[in-house]
Each structure stands twice: as structure tokens, then as C-alpha cells.
């Protein structure tokens, strides 16, 4: 017999296998419950950030849309201001141009008015001068031609009488441009030929004959003075004063060489070469 046979054993009695399985099952269930609770908590924790994450894009989109609209409105306002500034500037430029154009038009109108007034004054003075010349010529014609039947040459003496006698002999001959006689003449050709009779050589054309002697007034004419029409130095017609308020000249192709009263065609001026 073993010496330890009477010694009481302190070893815990072995649990039945069924009890051990139950315990294990309870432990496992607690662990699983704990894991389930933990998983649920983690799931809740995981869902909350997901909700926040889902809400953020909507918020950001609204904010971006608001910012875009605000930017568009600001840009449109800037464009409106710029357009308004351009319109105002264009209006100011147009107003300045219109004012300048009006001033220029007023200046031109005033200049034209002054020019017209000056021309009217000159014309009036010229008419008065012509009227005075005609009155003087008419008076001289009336006083010098008391006997119209008397030849004009009877009023002249010396070289003037010879000159006038030659001119009277040419009356009725033809007017031919460029002709110097003896059967036809033009105006300056007749005057040149007449003065050749008394030994005076004259230029060929009217322009030069109108400055060949000393200028005399139409109220102080003497027989033999050269009459001219047009300006001195650019005359277009000449004839010879024969006294009695008359002149002889080659007028035109229609009339030929004729004697006319000064009032028929008042000359512009006269020169004296004798």
C-alpha cells in the first residue's frame, strides 16, 4: 500500500466536460457580444464622418455657386461702368466736335459776310465811277457836238487832225482779227496804222497800247487820245477819241470800223501819246 494512500488529495475535482463547454460558450458569447458592441460603436463612428463627408460637397457646391454669381455680378457691374464711361466720353467728344464745327461755321459765315460787304462796296464805287464818267462823257458830247454834221476832225488841229482824218477815211472797212490794213483792220491794228500817219510807232497789241503813253482821266480827254477797255496792261479793246464825245474804232466783225458816242460803250481808261 502506498504511503500516501491516506493523504487527502488537494487537487480540484475535474469539471464535467459539459460544464466546461458551457463556460466556454459563455465566454465566447461575451467576447462576441463585446466584439459586436465594439463593431457597432465603430460602425457609428464610421457613419458619422461619412454623413459629414456627404454633406460637405453639397455645402461646397452652394458656396461655389454663390461665389461664381457674385463674381459674375461684380464683373457685369465693372463692364457696365466701363461702357458708361465710354459712352460719356464719346458724348463729350461729340459735343466738343459740334462746338468746334459751329465756331468754324460761324467764322466762315462772318468772313463770307465781310467779303460780300466789301465786294458790294467795291461794286458800288465802280458803278458810281462809271456813272460819273458817263455823265461827264455825255456832257462833253453834248457840248462838243452842237453841230453833228460837222466832221470830228474840224475840232482837232495839227497831228491830231491828220490822225483823225485817216481814221475817218477807214470808216466802213471790215474788221478782221490780226489785220493791219489797208482793206481791213482789227482794233489795235487800226490804232497802230493811224499813229503811223503822224510818225508815232505804237506796240501792236491792245494790252501794250493801253500803257504806251500817259494815263489821263476820262473827263479830260483830247482828240487823238487812245481809249481802252479792260485794265491798263491787260486791255482787250482799243479805239481813238476823235472829239465831240465820239471815238472811232474797229469794233467787231459785225460792225467793222465805225464811229460811236462814248456813251455807247464807256471805256475803262485812256492814254495820251501826243
Residue 161 and residue 247 in one domain: yes
Residue partners of 65: CB distance under 8 A and separation at least 6: none
**CATH number of the domain encompassing residue 251:** 3.90.1720.10
Residues 92, 203: one domain? Answer: no
Same domain, 39 and 151: no
The answer to whether residues 89 and 178 belong to one domain is no
pLDDT value, residue 134: 58
Residues 267 and 197 in one domain: yes
Q: Using alpha carbons, select from 178, 167, 186 the residue that is nearest to residue 225.
A: 167
- Residue 115, domain member (yes or no): no
Is the CB of residue 179 less than 8 Å from the CB of residue 186? yes
Structural domain contains residue 229: yes
β-strand pairing of 237-243 with 214-216: unpaired
Which residues touch 243 (CB under 8 Å, ≥6 apart)? 144, 152, 155, 156, 164, 222, 223
In this prediction, residue 38 carries a pLDDT of: 54
Whether 176 is covered by a domain: the verdict is yes
Same domain for 248 and 153, yes or no, is yes
The per-residue pLDDT for 104 is 84
Same-domain check for residues 184 and 267: yes
Task: Report pLDDT for 261.
Answer: 96
C-alpha atoms less than 13 angstroms from C-alpha of 88 in its C-beta half-sphere: 6
Instruction: Look at residue 1 and tell me if it is in a domain.
Output: no
Among 52, 83, 109, which residue terminates a domain? Answer: 109
pLDDT at 22: 42
Regarding whether 170 and 59 lie in a shared domain, the answer is: no
Does any domain span residue 178?
A: yes
The number of domains in the chain is 2
Regarding whether 149 and 105 lie in a shared domain, the answer is no
Both 156 and 258 in one domain: the answer is: yes
Q: What is the pLDDT along the chain (274 residues), one digit of tens a residue?
A: 445 545 455 555 555 544 444 445 454 455 445 555 555 555 555 555 444 445 555 556 777 777 777 777 777 777 777 888 888 888 888 888 888 888 888 888 888 888 877 777 777 776 666 666 555 555 555 555 444 444 444 467 789 999 999 999 999 999 999 999 999 999 999 999 999 999 999 999 999 999 999 999 999 999 999 999 999 999 999 999 999 999 999 999 999 999 999 999 999 999 999 8
163 and 227 together in one domain: yes
- Domain membership of residue 139 (yes or no) is no
Considering the domain boundaries, does residue 24 fall inside one?
yes
Residues 169 and 256 in one domain: yes
The 3-state secondary structure of the chain reads CCCCCCCCCCCCCCCCHHHHHHHHHHHHHHHHHHHHHHHHHHHHHHHHHHHHHHHHHHHHHHHHHHHHHHHHHHHHHHHHHHHHHHHHHHHHHHHHHHHHHHHHHHHHHHHHHHHHHHHHHHHHHHHHHHHHHHHHHHHHHHHHCCCCCCCHHHHCCHHHHHHHHHHHHCCCCEECCCCECCCEECHHHHHHHHHHCCCCCCCCCHHHHCCCCEEECHHHCCCCCEEEECCCCCCCEEEEEEECCEEEEEEECCCEEEEEEHHHCCCCEEEECC
Q: Tell me what pLDDT residue 131 has.
A: 61
Question: Alpha carbon 182 to chain centroid distance?
Answer: 59
Which of 109, 126, 153 delimits the end of a domain?
109
- Domain for residue 4, yes or no? no
Which domain, by its residues, includes 167?
Answer: 145-272
Amino acid at each position: 500500500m502506498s504511503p500516501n494512500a491516506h493523504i487527502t488529495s488537494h487537487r480540484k475535482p475535474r469539471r464535467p466536460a459539459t460544464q466546461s463547454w458551457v463556460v466556454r460558450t459563455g465566454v465566447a458569447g461575451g467576447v462576441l457580444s463585446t466584439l459586436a458592441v465594439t463593431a457597432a460603436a465603430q460602425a457609428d463612428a464610421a457613419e458619422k464622418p461619412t454623413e459629414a463627408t456627404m454633406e460637405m460637397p453639397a455645402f461646397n457646391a452652394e458656396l461655389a455657386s454663390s461665389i461664381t454669381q457674385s463674381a459674375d455680378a461684380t464683373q457685369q457691374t465693372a463692364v457696365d461702368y466701363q461702357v458708361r464711361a465710354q459712352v460719356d466720353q464719346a458724348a463729350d467728344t461729340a459735343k466738343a466736335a459740334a462746338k468746334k464745327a459751329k465756331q468754324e461755321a460761324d467764322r466762315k459765315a462772318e468772313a463770307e459776310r465781310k467779303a460780300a460787304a466789301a465786294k458790294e462796296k467795291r461794286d458800288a464805287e465802280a458803278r458810281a465811277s462809271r456813272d460819273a464818267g458817263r455823265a461827264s462823257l455825255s456832257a462833253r458830247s453834248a457840248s462838243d457836238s452842237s453841230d453833228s454834221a460837222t466832221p470830228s476832225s474840224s475840232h482837232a488841229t495839227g497831228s491830231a487832225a491828220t490822225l483823225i482824218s485817216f481814221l475817218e477815211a477807214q470808216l466802213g472797212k471790215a474788221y478782221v482779227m490780226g489785220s493791219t490794213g489797208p482793206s481791213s483792220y482789227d482794233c489795235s491794228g487800226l490804232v497802230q496804222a493811224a499813229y503811223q500817219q503822224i510818225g508815232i510807232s505804237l506796240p501792236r497789241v491792245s494790252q501794250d497800247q493801253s500803257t504806251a503813253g500817259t494815263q489821263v482821266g476820262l473827263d479830260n480827254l483830247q482828240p487823238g487820245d487812245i481809249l481802252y477797255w479792260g485794265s491798263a496792261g491787260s486791255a482787250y479793246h482799243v479805239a481813238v477819241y476823235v472829239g465831240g464825245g465820239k471815238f472811232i474804232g474797229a469794233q467787231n466783225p459785225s460792225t467793222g470800223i465805225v464811229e460811236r458816242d462814248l456813251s455807247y460803250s464807256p471805256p475803262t481808261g485812256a492814254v495820251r501819246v501826243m
